[in-house]
Amino acid sequence: MNSAFALFEIIFTRANPGPWIHLLWLVIILACYLGVAYLTHYTKGIYVYSFLDSSPKVLNSEGKNIGGMGVYSAAYIVGIAIGIVILFCVAKGLIILRKWLTEKKAGMTGKFYGGRAMGHGEAELEMQRQWEKQPGEV
pLDDT score of 65: 67
Residues 6 or more apart from 56 whose CB is under 8 A from it? 67, 68, 70
Q: Which residues pair with 59 in a beta bridge?
A: 65
Distance CA 36, CA 34 (A): 5
Distance CA 68, CA 53 (A): 5
Check if the beta carbon of residue 92 is closer than 8 Å to that of residue 120. Answer: no
pTM of the model: 0.69
pLDDT score of 18: 86
Check if the beta carbon of residue 43 is closer than 8 Å to that of residue 62. Answer: no
Question: What does DSSP assign to residue 135?
Answer: T
State whether residue 127 is helix, strand or coil. coil
Q: Which phi and psi (to 5°) does residue 110 adopt?
A: 105, 160
Give, for all 138 residues of the chain, the pLDDT tens digit: 999 999 999 998 878 888 899 999 999 999 999 999 889 988 998 888 877 887 776 777 777 766 677 667 888 889 999 999 999 999 999 999 998 898 888 877 766 555 555 554 445 555 555 555 566 655
Domain boundaries, the chain: 2-109
pLDDT score of 120: 47
| Helix extents (H) in 45-123 | 72-99
pLDDT score of 29: 95
Which stretches does DSSP call E strand in 1-85?
A: none
